[in-house]
Amino acid sequence: MSVSTQIPTTGRAWHLVARPQGWPTAADFALREVPVTEPAPGRILVRNLHMSVDPYMRGRMNDVKSYIPPFQLDQPMDGGAVGEVIASAAEGINVGDHVLHGLGWREYAEVEAAHATKVDGSLAPLSYYLGILGMPGLTAYAGLFETASFKEGDAVFVSGAAGAVGSLVGQFAKIKGASRVIGSAGSDEKVALLTGKYGFDAAFNYKNGPVAQQLKAAAPEGIDVYFDNVGGDHLEAAIGSLKVHGRATLCGAIAQYNDTEPPAGPRNLALVIGKRLRLQGVLVGDHTGLQQTFVQDVAGWLRSGELQYDETVVEGIENGVAAFLGMLRGENTGKMIVSFTR
């Protein structure tokens, strides 16, 4: 147990100041100075180096009951972050250690040591623990192999395929012997990335025409697995293309997160009955038992070069909200990270 004496008196933290109606705007947030104090017994003080912005955070801006509590107004927001310990009042964590924890959206975080995990920057860049070796990576791994019961020879369709989760799902499926992997994305540049660097067999720009038609052209024989990051017309199209006994992992519905009216569809849910489809949601917190196997597999695939990974990095805590809004608009390739400059 060690305690540093070089502790600033204040640091900046993003607060939610209004609940967004539809798309969030910069006026819904405020970057404010907050006190920084010595850690209490059993706690550590972390200088954050990288923080995560993720689609699920949009839901937490609504005051509704969900699987994770909503952000509180006029309080610092939270989320995944990696940083350096600058003061410790806890056994087993020392000044200079790097930790993964859940108090992002701020420069300095006083964290209960039991809720921090030491990470090794020599094995991978620290920001990777917010992406490929963190929550998005495990979501992709568990959602494909456990929730969707992927097996060798399956044809797989991934929506939002150039994002933090989708880009990994498609590659995991290829590595494990998928017969065909198809992805959708929102720009021609991302489509080229999917079929080039990431090795998808086919991809299409969902803005270029009806999703159902483009998916049928890319997978004329149908699909066995659908990994849904988008919802709406993508889910409807996938239900139409899934074979008998097909499986869909419902991970996200980013196309609908900012809608103020209920979605119109899918309008073809009756097909689920005749095709005996399985549509199952995934929450990464249910799959922590896979953590060790997941890290071993993914680290190995990274070392071998079988797995490619991209980050979109925005510099500066002052640009945190801009990064979040950009992620919702699909401006990121791979994981969106906010890195704090000093």
Average pLDDT of the chain to the nearest whole number: 94
pLDDT, tens only, 204-244: 999 999 999 999 999 999 999 999 999 999 999 999 999 99
Q: Which residue from 234, 285, 227, 284 is spatially nearest to 256, judged by alpha carbons? A: 234
CA distance 67 to 138: 18
Q: Name the token pair of 181.
A: 């992997």
Domains and CATH numbers, the chain: 10-131+310-339 (3.90.180.10), 135-285 (3.40.50.720)
pLDDT digits (tens, 9 = 90+) for 273-296: 999 999 999 999 999 899 889 989
pLDDT tens column, 10-64: 999 999 999 999 999 999 999 999 999 999 999 999 999 999 999 999 999 999 8
For the chain, give the number of residues: 342
| Residues contacting residue 174 through CB under 8 Å, at least 6 positions apart | 181, 199, 200
* pLDDT tens digits, 76-88: 999 999 999 999 9
Check pLDDT > 90 for residue 66. Answer: no
pLDDT of the residue at 342 = 59
DSSP string, 107-165: SEEEEEGGG-EE--TTTS-GGGGGTTTSHHHHHHHHIIIIIS---TT-EEEESSTTBTT
pLDDT of residue 4: 54
